[in-house]
Structure 1
């Protein structure tokens, strides 16, 4: 009998990639979400599905224990929301989590505030970081205002889910175009968080470094370069391609080691092709939204991690094949176009070029699609129907 794996947050496109990777490898996958409409629950590669109580309810942990016992689950692929939901009983589920780390490690890695502090405490960890300031109270606003005078906008004010003062916090990112707007955002968020972080702008293009670290050794690696963002000025990479930059990769690995993270993560960077400088933005200590590009490039992170959990350790090191491109059309790449068309920051020439490029990419047969996956293409049409229905 194949091993039974529970994949959380099946609504996320990255976790849909996990379901597909594990399912085609022969594992018995249960797709799990809070809503029956989650895309992953309708994947051909999900042998079973489960709809669970909201993470914010007091019923989730007991539901999870009962489900694991009844269905004899062998492994859980966690999400960030899952880890926060089981924080108080985390040790009970550690035996089912691949590359499980101590609680203080994942809490630090999933906090932009804490991970920034950890890296800045090490001499080699503080390299390639943009300006940042952590604030815990309104009394620090004056000092922040003074610090921002020498920095270029925009600024980014971020609140961590784990630092929220409610029962279940929410991750928030505010993009601010002026110092006054930044101070207002900080003042608005501070009452709801133990601390917030303000980060400065890093120019250039977004880069994702996909890594799997197992028992202290890096076993898989890949890199992604953003072509389109949603929103256009710096959101998720709705259209991206395989990429390689050796010194950036080495920086990402060193930072992951300093943070103490084991398992999979996407290290987010900005890279300026003109100067060849790069800046570390944050660690996404979970499966990432760009996973399908890695799968198309032969970097099968979920299968490798699951195989190692069950005793068979493999690897996928070295550069991915170059020139592979992948797109998340509904709603992300359409959102890229709409965000640019609606923005006061864009020129008419930018808008016309974007529309033209969108049509060309739509006609390009060599560009893969996240949802148009072999033997699982009904999910693409479901997403398209839901998008236009909304």
Structure 2
């Protein structure tokens, strides 16, 4: 056993949100590196818990539905078992834990204030504009009757609540983004919003591919950077990437993303997302996701092992920096890509991209969830997918 692996083997990590594919990528990364990994989840069939690299599963309340009970359960598990690092993967889990006196020292994340500020889309746009970073035109609405909505004249537009997760105390709720084609749709979208979703932002819609710049920051240093381009999404018109490829981002975008994170005194990982508008050729800032992202496995496959680099840094085991990675590596989220195809078939729009979907493999391709040496998560996700299909949720 190498000295690095021996040092890692003495440390325990609790990875939360085991239902997420990003949690699976974290569990696999840290387990392969030698860390002793446990998975926390509300669902005993969580895909990350099915990995051979997860030594134990800790059943926890939902951080979205019961944030206070979730926080108390995680703190109890930490006191009982002892962990060197606790890794939230979703925004809901991070919000439930950040600032807790027992858990905060174990979280490889920025302060609660920095995390909340970066995840406030309205504050983010205002700060970015002040830093000279291009942002789409927008207006802020205080409530559904705000008169500014009546003078908004750029359509199609996007209606974005300031925060992705709202509510306090016993329960939180996720908000959603809405696309509107005209003022009537804008009025209807605002009327549908829960009062807790306000203030909201009405933003011009940039049309073109999304470019995510993925970063790891520690002690003010850029430890690692990565980027990919989306090849297919679910839903097809824009959403979660289901097939994507590692690319070299424009250095100017990386510089903007680093400058933006520095303004929040950021520590840990983040995805800074831009949209490349095809009409104007501009790169407009979309958002910051201050946590591990759904396509994390692609970065690891391409050579940027974000989870290992992060945990090594915060525990003082290794101070490696990742400066390069392989281009043209692609990962496919298997069942997500099936959902993409089903949506297109239902809409009658599969023509043109159907042959590329049925191409089973191409040099550089990887499956995201299925791995020969760790097949359990794929079977767990497959069971869940077929249950949803039988229930009419597909």
TM over 0.5: yes
Name the structure 2 match of 1:110: 119
Give the CA deviation at 1:190. Answer: 4.9
Name 1:50's counterpart in structure 2. Answer: 58
**Distance change (3 Å), C-alpha of 1:341 and 1:211:** same
Question: How far, CA to CA, are the matches of 1:119 and 1:374 in structure 2?
Answer: 44
Partner residue, 1:357:
356
Which residue among 32, 36, 55 is the counterpart of 1:28?
Answer: 36
Match of residue 146 from structure 1: 151
1:309 paired to 2:314: yes
Give 1:266's aligned residue: 271
Counterpart-to-counterpart distance in 2, 1:236 and 1:255 = 24
Instruction: Find the counterpart in structure 2 of residue 281 from structure 1.
Output: 286
3-state DSSP of counterpart to 1:352 = coil
Alpha-carbon deviation of 1:153?
A: 0.9
Normalising by the residue count of structure 1, what TM-score does the alignment of the two structures yield? 0.89
The 1-side partners of 2:311 and 2:331 are apart by 24
- Looking at structure 1, the residues matched to 282 and 215 of structure 2 have their Cα atoms a distance apart, in angstroms, of 21
**1:278 and 1:269 mapped to 2: Cα distance?**
6
- Look up the SS of the partner of 2:344 in the other structure: helix
Matched, 1:119 2:128: yes
Query: Does the 8 Å contact 1:137/1:190 carry over to 2?
Result: no
- Aligned runs of 1:1-390 on 2, under 5 Å? 1-55=9-63, 56-57=65-66, 58-79=68-89, 80-86=91-97, 89-98=99-108, 100-120=109-129, 122-124=130-132, 127-140=133-146, 142-147=147-152, 149=153, 151-158=154-161, 160-164=163-167, 167-244=171-248, 245-272=250-277, 276-311=281-316, 312-318=318-324, 320-330=325-335, 332-343=336-347, 350-360=349-359, 362-364=360-362, 366-373=364-371, 375-390=373-388
Task: Give how far 1:386 is off.
Answer: 2.7
1:339 offset after TM fit, Å?
Answer: 2.8
- Please say if residues 140 and 200 of structure 2, whose CA atoms lie closer than 8 Å, have aligned partners that are also in contact: yes
CA contact (8 A) 1:157 1:174 kept: yes
User: Do 1:90 and 1:103's aligned partners in 2 also have CA atoms closer than 8 Å?
Assistant: no
CA distance in 2, matches of 1:275, 1:193: 31
- Which consecutive aligned stretches of 4+ in structure 1 deviate over 6 angstroms post-superposition? none
Q: CA deviation at 1:289?
A: 0.4
Distance in 1 (CA, whole Å) between partners of 2:205 and 2:279 is 16
- SS where residue 9 of structure 1 aligns? coil
SS of the residue 1:138 aligns to: coil
- How far apart are the structure 1 equivalents of 2:51 and 2:183? 46
Cα distance in structure 1, aligned partners of 2:181 and 2:280? 24
Q: Post-superposition shift, 1:371?
A: 0.6
Gap runs ≥5 in structure 1: none
Query: Using the alignment, how far apart are the partners of 1:337 and 1:179 within structure 2?
Result: 32
| Residues 228 and 246 in structure 2, CA contact (< 8 A), matched pair in contact too | yes
User: Does the 8 Å contact 1:33/1:52 carry over to 2?
Assistant: yes
RMSD, aligned α-carbons = 2.1
Q: Quick one: distance in 2 between partners of 1:115 and 1:248?
A: 16
Find the aligned partners of 1:105 and 1:162 in 2 and give their Cα distance.
16
Deviates more, 1:365-374 or 1:281-290: 365-374
State the SS of the aligned residue for 1:364.
coil
